[in-house]
Amino acid sequence: MIHSRGEITGDLRLTADVVVVGSGAGGATVAKELSQAGRRVVVLEAGRHFTRDDFDLRMDRAFVEMYWDGGQVMSLGRPMFLLPQGKTVGGTTTINSGTCFRMPHNVLKKWHLDLGLWEITEEEMGLYYGAVEEYLFVQKADPEVMGRNALLFLEGAKGMGLSGGILARNAKDCEGYGVCCFGCPSDAKQSANVSYIPDAVKAGCELYTECTVDEIRVRGGRAVGVAGTFAGPGRRSAGPRVEVEAGVVVLAAGTLHTPRMLLAQGLCNSSGQVGRNLTIHPCNGTVAVMDTVVGNPKGIPQATYVDEFADEGVMLEGGTTPPLGIVMGLPYKGRRLAEFMRQYPRFGIFGGMLSEHCSTGRVVPHPRDPSRHLVTYSLKGEDVRKFRFMTELMAEVWFSLGARSIFTPTASYPEMRPSDLSKFKRQKAKASDYVAVSAYHPLGTCRMGSDPEHSVVGHTGETWDVENLFICDGSIVPTSLGVNPQMTIFALSMRNTGFVDDRLEELAGRKPVRNGEERT
Amino acid sequence: MLRIVEETVEAITPHVLGCDAFEELPDPDPRASVEFLDRWTAMGIPEFRAVSTLAFLALNVYSFLRTGRLFPRLDPDSQAHLLERLYRAKGMLPYQFLYFLSTPAVNAYYSRIDVQLLLGFDIAALKEESERRLVTRDGGPLPPRDAAAAPSGEVAGR
């Protein structure tokens, strides 16, 4: 059952086999698998529960209702990145574009060679990916509904001899309403809120919304539960308290919030790695003014990609964005802004992400408020050049398609005409030149590894320092994946759920159930 | 919210949007910009609210130093002239400054359903169609697509 804040009238004391903090890709997977295995599962989610009836296609409302801090999470550094993160049942899967990739082979190889994670094999991960893909109806986007914009850019890129294709997505019968990032109004996108969570609840999982966990309870070196607070009637007021006693605690609050919780209590940090090793995918976008109507925003927000330079860490992915998503990053004000926005139906929109990079950041506690954190991240060295290269590449594609001008998120060339491109390429790349950029896919802040001195969790997801405390979210993914990470988080969480289940068996004094055996 | 910030948000709204130059664009509602800023900053991190407030106060300091009057007390032409100087400034700092100054007006205006419809984003039609084409995990045929949700053409009146 999903319990909303309004139903909670007084303090709660609950017991469960497992308490899961967070209901995104990681937490929802654990909740579903364990509930269906007959475990008593309680999930505590900081955000609210929304259904397709609530999703009204409005970006402004979605940001306020479903994103952490109203969509204003920023990294501190050069440049500053907006880091949109979901705060709702389903986590960021509810407000992402639904792009699905498996972890590239070379990444797992790096995990083996550099981190000693030999236990995670390609064959095993293949099985988990396969199961998740089938469950989430992962398939390539339908060109009939993806919108002209995505195909146009791909045509341009292919015309220049660049490799690319159509993205796979976790969507079923998608009609391309263009608003995945504000909640899918038809339930076509198979985010955790319409797949894992309903199945978990059907199997008996109890999910409490608008509940922020502020304490992980540890006794004798073992996690024994959590405590938290429901949101109060006012925006910043506190509501009833909740305490959950459980055999196993699973943290799945995401790459930014899981380390914040651990750091606030000084837990699991004997390696000093909690909050470190943050990788993100820094993104920048371009808006081109075309001669013909492109038809935004009807279409799929991310439908095609260009991966010609993926090995060098540059991946272009894109599609469509509503007017509000465009106007916020434009350099113009006044009459020029209005004049420009009138051309919205003719906009070509595409984005790129720095998929492989050497820059890393950190999640650190807020100096004055332990319930909050700060994110630091700066583009360094070669990454700055690659970041600019993305803009150059997108500009070349748009100009090859006949764009008269494009808009870039740079202070030096906010508007670029074909004749400006060579000058732009010649100027020195500076991180501070980028002014309206965002980043996605944070990973790595509680990284997994084989050495307790250099990692926070082992390959099972259990923390080295506290028994029965598992982490199942992007924070354990130890390196950038080079691709969108939701499938890997789903798959790794499915894998780690098996170890949580084993632990529950051990706690009950039974031998863990292995594949092919039946629980007695 | 400080009274001077409210007044500045209201005063800057028509200048930021520049809609008066185009007949087909609806008039902005300066009060909606104030309401947006209030709602938006209340949801976000306290530092964001502080920076946003500082940006509007800084505009008034700039206005006072250049003209001897606070921004909302200037006549519209003088306000426009002052802002033009800011628009022409290059670099990251002026860009970020203008970002904070323009965010309330831009967000309040371009999130309006009538404005988005004019630009080809028919929220009501798409919502209606999506309600008739709800997807279930266990399958079942969907009703036919609706022509109302097809890509829109140029902005009306162009």
pLDDT along chain B (158 residues), means of 10: 95 95 93 93 82 95 96 96 86 80 94 95 93 84 54 39
Assess whether pLDDT exceeds 50 at residue A183.
Answer: yes
Whether chain B has a CB inside 8 Å of the CB on A52: the answer is yes
Given an 8 Å threshold on Cβ–Cβ distance, is B135 in contact with A60? no
Task: Give the span between the Cα atoms of A453 and A446, in whole angstroms.
Answer: 12
Cα B98 to Cα A26, A50, B55, B88, B89: the distances in Å are 39, 34, 8, 11, 10
Interface of B with A in 118-157 (CB under 8 A): 119-121, 123, 126-127, 129-131, 133-137, 142, 145, 149-155
User: What pairs with residue A375 in β-bridges?
Assistant: A75, A363
Tokens standing for residue A344: 């919205």
Q: What is the pLDDT of residue A395?
A: 97
What does pLDDT average to over chain A? 94
Assess whether pLDDT exceeds 70 at residue A299.
Answer: yes
Report the residue from A188, A327, A436 with minimal CB separation from B135: A188
Query: How sure is the predictor about A518, in pLDDT bands with cuts at 50, 70 and 90?
Result: low
Q: How far is A487 from chain B (nearest CA, A)?
A: 18
Biggest alpha carbon distance in chain B?
69
Tokens standing for residue A191: 């985010």
Q: What is the pLDDT of residue B139?
A: 74
Assess whether pLDDT exceeds 80 at residue A410.
Answer: yes
Q: What is the pLDDT of residue A515?
A: 54
Q: What is the pLDDT of residue A50?
A: 97
Task: Give the span between the Cα atoms of B129 and A185, in whole angstroms.
Answer: 9
Chain B neighbors of A188, CB-CB under 8 A: 135
Chain B neighbors of A190, CB-CB under 8 A: 137
Q: What is the pLDDT of residue B149?
A: 46
Given an 8 Å threshold on Cβ–Cβ distance, is A295 in contact with B120? yes
Report the residue from A177, A235, A346 with minimal CB separation from B130: A177
**Over residues A403-427, mean pLDDT:** 92
CA distance between the termini of chain B: 39
Q: Which residues of A belong to the active site?
A: 441
| Residue scoring higher pLDDT (A498 or B147) | A498
For chain A, percent of residues with pLDDT exceeding 70: 98
Name the residue of chain A whose CA is nearest to B87's CA.
A333
Q: What is the pLDDT of residue A138?
A: 98
Q: What is the ipTM of this complex?
A: 0.88
Query: How sure is the predictor about A264, in pLDDT bands with cuts at 50, 70 and 90?
Result: very high
Assess whether pLDDT exceeds 90 at residue A249.
Answer: yes
Query: How sure is the predictor about A185, in pLDDT bands with cuts at 50, 70 and 90?
Result: very high
Q: What is the pLDDT of residue A519?
A: 52
| Residue scoring higher pLDDT (A372 or A279) | A279
By mean pLDDT, which of A38-52, A84-98, B30-44, B67-81 is the weakest?
A: B30-44
Q: What is the pLDDT of residue A307?
A: 96
Q: What is the pLDDT of residue B151?
A: 44
Q: What is the pLDDT of residues A161-173, one digit of tens each?
A: 999 999 999 999 9
Report the residue from A137, A175, A346 with minimal CB separation from B133: A175
Chain A neighbors of B99, CB-CB under 8 A: 435-436
Report the residue from A235, A323, A333 with minimal CB separation from B98: A333
Q: What is the pLDDT of residue B1?
A: 86
**Over residues A395-412, mean pLDDT:** 93
Q: What is the pLDDT of residue A468?
A: 98
Q: What SS3 state is found at B136?
A: coil
CB neighbour list of residue B121: distance below 8 Å, 6 or more residues apart: A178, A296, A297, A322, A323, B152
Query: How sure is the predictor about A318, in pLDDT bands with cuts at 50, 70 and 90?
Result: confident
* Sequence-separated contacts (24+) of A199-204 with Cβ below 8 Å: A199/A32, A199/A35, A199/A36, A200/A28, A200/A31, A200/A32, A200/A35, A200/A36, A200/A41, A200/A43, A201/A1, A201/A2, A201/A35, A203/A32, A203/A35, A203/A36, A204/A35, A204/A40, A204/A41
Q: What is the pLDDT of residue B144?
A: 61
**Over residues A407-433, mean pLDDT:** 91
The string of DSSP codes covering A413-445 is -SEE-GGGHHHHHHSPP-GGGB-SEEEEEEE-T
Q: What is the pLDDT of residues A277-295, one digit of tens each?
A: 999 999 999 999 999 999 8
Whether chain A has a CB inside 8 Å of the CB on B102: the answer is yes
| Nearest residue to A433 via CA among B95, B85, B103 | B95
> What's the predicted TM-score (pTM) here?
0.94
Angle at B70 between CA B69 and CA B73, to 5 degrees: 85
| Residue scoring higher pLDDT (B156 or A10) | A10
Given an 8 Å threshold on Cβ–Cβ distance, is A345 in contact with B154? yes
Assess whether pLDDT exceeds 60 at residue A40.
Answer: yes
Neighbours of A342 (CB within 10 A): 20
